[in-house]
Structure 1
């Protein structure tokens, strides 16, 4: 309706009848595209107005001037501004001048092959559950044209589309108008649904879970809580949980390398075809066919990467939410790594750090945690891996506990009174959780992204956010009690050997436990493994790997404490299966 208020009408071809509700859908979709283009135009105009002397490195004053020129400078991620800066710098390198506006930097945006039914009313589209099986199926009734050029109202006829609901849609959820998309000749429906949930609280949390991003171990986290004292202290049980997706990340890295090689070959073929056209020659048909095949292969690899990243993000979101529910936490604290820039760590490591799907993780964990009334708060990441969570002394980082060479995996506190030594990620999640619990009153709602954020850190509060470990006292205070002898333990040595012609030495075997061997080996006995190990596959199962049989389809996680153990479920999303399975 915004376009109608602005007086921007829609022109219908002569002799074609289009209902006003269909026109409203087209206007809604056009309004969304224009809103996005207008935001990009404002960001580009602010960058051009405050263009720095060195685009690669802005000074502190240049950053402040850029933030002031933006309509909502604090909400725009630095990664977005850096990407737009590189785009403008590339245009300047090609044309030896700055662009006038965003229209010179990028082509016109496309509307996309989709129909947003949320802009229509019930006279055009209705969605309801199927009366025969309301828990598994739904019916969409939509008025569609019977011919390419409908001339009257009679050419529009209602069409019923019966489709299966995803298994994670609750039975009591209210279905909303979907969005129709066409992909590879198939009609896809994005069906939103609404259900009554508890409202996440901005502050007032006593128990929380915090997670730190990693490269090899994707997520490391644990539980923290505030004591009931007059001056609350942050306490943790020092029992970390891990989400290891090494196989999935390795598969994503292989797909990335494959896509880069295909892109290089496409650029080479385009150069050859362009050179022939510039010389007045016809393009080689073989080169044109090869270019089309490579572009199709690049699109296919891109879709595989998208599916794999989405499955990984959903699995990580369920892992974090399940541990929050089991711990009784009311908030999940994550660090804000949208602006992380991987520099100086080598080409391979820089690329792996930049390709991590951190934004999708936050989106999925917000959606899943909201169903249980759990808040998700983004915490500033400055100094979370630099200082000791117990005494806030600056860490000394080295490669391993037994290797004192400079590195980043292990951290040791130089404070003699503390002496805390742990992994870098273990220390980081404790600092993240402590910072979130002590800065609850500074939590704000970012209306642009719809998430709770803590934008600044108060130094005085950060110093009080030391973490104390609550562990069971195992100090020996008396003699060890006599333990009963197990029933299977032999109480006498072996009998002496016989004295016949085939005499054997006897009486040398001491009393001990009789070795036992399994009498029956199950089919999966050879593939038994712990939650943090990858077993050797017995045979390849491309249709869905089980636990221990497969490589890139697994994300091994710490089992949720307090929940009954269960066998790993098969993933409903192609590309991943793990112990904590996402829907």
Structure 2
């Protein structure tokens, strides 16, 4: 690895190509012999670099770090470009983000009007990573078993020179390093995906601030062994850092707000909610559904959706209390003011509301035997003899059937050509209803009546 940022400007220069902004030219002064003595032992080498599409055209390039990977030399390029400055106050559209255990993120946007009323912009969304979290849980359990085996081998060795046990212990140690690397890569990918999804939601809603639930409220204690372990293994800290990094590029502020009673109170009237099982998930453990007992409000929904509404509304009403943490440099709202919290309610939307489909009376009786559809083609004629096709209608079969309707009727079907090798007998004669239906013949044509081979007796 060669860190060119530590080099002097007289030894390394990088600049963009004027003709193609997606290319850059790196000029290095390298020695021509292992022990250079004078300036003649150095020469300039030009290295063309193709820039990725993520690098803006107006960005200022910095000297990269060169790494040799097989037959190629890769350059870790750093660049600087101007972005809008994120402001702490003056926000009218905000994105609220709530942390969850099974549903990692729940987010939605709110708008603060000039009259001080807060309205929801849509129903919000959820970032579900159940598959990734399950794989993370399996890797964690596998790592715990490997650590337990290594400890057992260490107790068995006990300082004795046992080469066989030490070889097994080294193999398990290498497997532990491999599993740890997989867990780290999985956590990094999950953090970047969750942060990218959140910032995209803010950009789509044209929000200028993202209000996050305080991570200190998600302490892994007092919730049981399994739940404490799942909470401690979450990558919320990484997600917050990646979110701030991606949001800063678009001038979006990321502010942390207290999480007190965000899932407990109603977002529309601040009444304590009653939690139940979800109506469509009766067998799933937990109390995911929240119902407001206030008859004048009547809000109900997923508790995570109510939580992000409370978080965004609290951030919009307390945005004057936003401060910058001196240790981390992150924006944070530390305290909740009761007077401001009383106005942090979401006004229920009246436009575009769905029609009330509640049942108000008995269900209309529907017969279990609906009337048969009318035939789209005329009934076939009764052939000569005992065998024949049954005419339309529900006629008894224990007696001789009457003659069917006269078949010399008008043309009421569409003529379609038949392919070679598939020409049904009925369609060839123009009788009966078939997928390849033909037009009924005119009334002045005579149709030869041939006995059917269906085998039924009239």
Residue aligning to 2:232: 354
Listed as ranges, the matches of 1:347-386 within 5 Å are 347-386=225-264
Q: Summarize the Cα distance change of 1:188–1:446 in structure 2 as closer, same or farther, 3 Å threshold.
A: farther
Aligned residue pairs total 374
Residue aligning to 1:270: 154
Do the aligned residues in 1 keep the contact of 2:12 with 2:29 (CA within 8 Å)? Answer: yes
How much does 1:373 deviate?
A: 1.7
Do the aligned residues in 2 keep the contact of 1:399 with 1:410 (CA within 8 Å)? Answer: yes
Do the aligned residues in 2 keep the contact of 1:125 with 1:143 (CA within 8 Å)? Answer: no
Cα deviation, 1:32-58, whole Å, max 9, x if unaligned, reads xxxxxxxxxxxxxxxxxxxxxxxxxxx
Asked if residue 135 in structure 1 is aligned to residue 28 in structure 2, the reply is: no
- Which has the higher mean CA deviation after the structures are superposed, 341-350 or 389-398? 341-350
**Cα distance between partner residues in 2 of 1:296 and 1:183:** 23
The correspondence for 2:89, drawn from 190, 200, 203, is 203
**Cα distance between partner residues in 2 of 1:132 and 1:287:** 64
Residue aligning to 1:458: 337
Listed as ranges, the matches of 1:368-447 within 5 Å are 368-401=246-279, 407-447=286-326
SS at match of 1:200: coil
Listed as ranges, the matches of 1:514-533 within 5 Å are none
Residue aligning to 1:236: 120
- The structure with the largest helix share of the pair is 1
**Cα distance between partner residues in 1 of 2:288 and 2:256:** 24
**Cα distance between partner residues in 2 of 1:301 and 1:178:** 31
SS at match of 1:237: strand
Do the aligned residues in 1 keep the contact of 2:12 with 2:26 (CA within 8 Å)? Answer: no
Structure of greater Rg:
2
Do the aligned residues in 2 keep the contact of 1:262 with 1:294 (CA within 8 Å)? Answer: yes
Asked if residue 336 in structure 1 is aligned to residue 220 in structure 2, the reply is: no
How much does 1:444 deviate?
A: 1.3
Cα deviation, 1:320-356, whole Å, max 9, x if unaligned, reads 1222122121111111215621234333322222111
Do the aligned residues in 2 keep the contact of 1:397 with 1:412 (CA within 8 Å)? Answer: yes
How much does 1:492 deviate?
A: 5.8
**Cα distance between partner residues in 2 of 1:224 and 1:126:** 48
Do the aligned residues in 1 keep the contact of 2:274 with 2:293 (CA within 8 Å)? Answer: yes
Q: Summarize the Cα distance change of 1:296–1:439 in structure 2 as closer, same or farther, 3 Å threshold.
A: same
Do the aligned residues in 2 keep the contact of 1:208 with 1:333 (CA within 8 Å)? Answer: yes
State the TM-score, normalizing by the size of structure 2.
Answer: 0.70
Do the aligned residues in 2 keep the contact of 1:398 with 1:404 (CA within 8 Å)? Answer: no
Asked if residue 310 in structure 1 is aligned to residue 185 in structure 2, the reply is: no
Asked if residue 245 in structure 1 is aligned to residue 129 in structure 2, the reply is: yes
Cα deviation, 1:194-251, whole Å, max 9, x if unaligned, reads 111111111101111111111222211111001122xx01111341212111111112
Q: Summarize the Cα distance change of 1:256–1:160 in structure 2 as closer, same or farther, 3 Å threshold.
A: farther
**Cα distance between partner residues in 1 of 2:292 and 2:148:** 47
Do the aligned residues in 1 keep the contact of 2:273 with 2:293 (CA within 8 Å)? Answer: yes
Asked if residue 288 in structure 1 is aligned to residue 166 in structure 2, the reply is: yes
How much does 1:443 deviate?
A: 0.9
**Cα distance between partner residues in 2 of 1:409 and 1:476:** 25
State the TM-score, normalizing by the size of structure 1.
Answer: 0.56
Listed as ranges, the matches of 1:62-101 within 5 Å are none
Please, which runs of 5 or more residues in structure 2 have no aligned partner?
Answer: 357-372, 395-458
How much does 1:307 deviate?
A: 1.8
Q: C-alpha root-mean-square deviation of aligned residues, in Å?
A: 3.7
SS at match of 2:271: coil
